[in-house]
Amino acid sequence: MIDLKQMTMDVCHVARRCGEFLKEERKSFRRDKVEEKNAHDYVSYVDKETEKQVVALLKALLPEAGFIAEEGTADFHDEAYCWVIDPLDGTTNYIHDNAPYCVSIALRSGKELLIGVVYEVCRNECFYAWKGGGAWMNEQPISVSDVNDVEKAFVVCELPYNSDAYKHTALHLIHSLYGRVGGIRMNGSAAAAICYVAAGRFDAWAESFIGRWDFSAAALLVMEAGGQVTDFYGSNDFVEGHHIIASNGRLHHLFADLLPQAYPHGM
């Protein structure tokens, strides 16, 4: 039986250690070493090397666990436990020396999220949660906001790389929300933005065409912080999906009402 609290503390150490590597590499980072995985979707030697480090350190913590990792360092083969990791969430931000970017690590058992750790390098903020243990940032408890007035809502409308498929949705959201809510932002890091929902900095967030490594850790943080996470159609069964809404719960309807209008027949 895993001691989830102790394991979470150990994972925080892993995330911080790898975050320090990201910080040091950024000082001498060369943009000519960047590769383009898909249109405007980048990866660098830093992503790959950080992932190797994360995988090695997590294997030492829980040798029996499998992996779902963005850069493909290791694979999941039906193990009882599975790490879901993004070694560098916010690669485009990192390439341009722009905040935020982070290390994201989640532990799952089946579809159940057990641990979520996100280390945001630029602000030296480690967000973490374990199932039933609440949500934390740098040893301080965090909770979602209590904003329920749409006109005061501070929301995130990210623009994923799949521009042809998502453009209609993006325009629909901006058209529907601009001038109606208190503010709209684009963050460039799904993991960081969702953690900011957990910490009450944002009130609601939504994005599609993202990987499990982008949202898994932060999704647990939002739920443990008192918020709500669903797919675009309101289902709580989102962990294998690619379109997610995270909110303080009070304003979940902002995206939950608008997104099905853009995709009435499902994604």
Where exactly are the structural domains of the chain? Answer: 4-141, 150-262
Q: Specify the residue for token string 């503390």.
A: 9
187 contact partners, CB below 8 Å, separation of at least 6: 100, 156, 158, 193, 196
DSSP structure class, residue 242: S
Q: What letters, b where the CB count within 10 A reaches 16 and e where it falls short, cover 64-91?
A: ebbbbbbbebbebeeeebbbbbbbbbbb
Residue 263 has a pLDDT of 61
Residue 191 and residue 195: Cα distance in Å, rounded? 6
* pLDDT tens over the chain, length 267 residues: 899 999 999 999 999 999 999 999 888 877 766 666 554 445 577 888 899 999 999 999 999 999 998 766 656 556 799 999 999 999 889 989 999 999 999 999 999 999 999 999 999 999 999 999 999 999 999 999 999 999 999 999 988 878 888 888 889 999 999 999 999 999 999 999 999 999 999 999 999 999 999 999 999 999 999 999 999 989 999 999 999 999 999 999 999 999 887 765 555
DSSP state, 99?
Answer: S
Instruction: Please give the helix or strand (H or E) that residue 190 lies within, else none.
Output: helix 190-198
Instruction: Give exposure, 23-45, as e/b (b: 16+ Cβ within 10 Å).
Output: eebeeebeeeebeeeeeeebbbe
Residues contacting residue 188 through CB under 8 Å, at least 6 positions apart: 90, 92, 93, 98, 100, 101, 158
pTM above 0.85, yes or no: yes
Q: Can you give the pLDDT at residue 35?
A: 62
Per-residue pLDDT at 146: 98
> Which pLDDT score is estimated for 123?
97
Classify the phi-psi angles of 262: left when phi > 0, otherwise alpha if psi is within -120 to 50, otherwise beta: alpha
Three-state DSSP class for 40? Answer: coil
End-to-end CA distance of the chain: 38
Residues 209/221, Cβ–Cβ less than 8 Å: no
Domain topology for 4-141:
Fructose-1,6-Bisphosphatase; Chain A, domain 1 (3.30.540)
Architecture of the 150-262 domain: 3-Layer(aba) Sandwich (3.40)
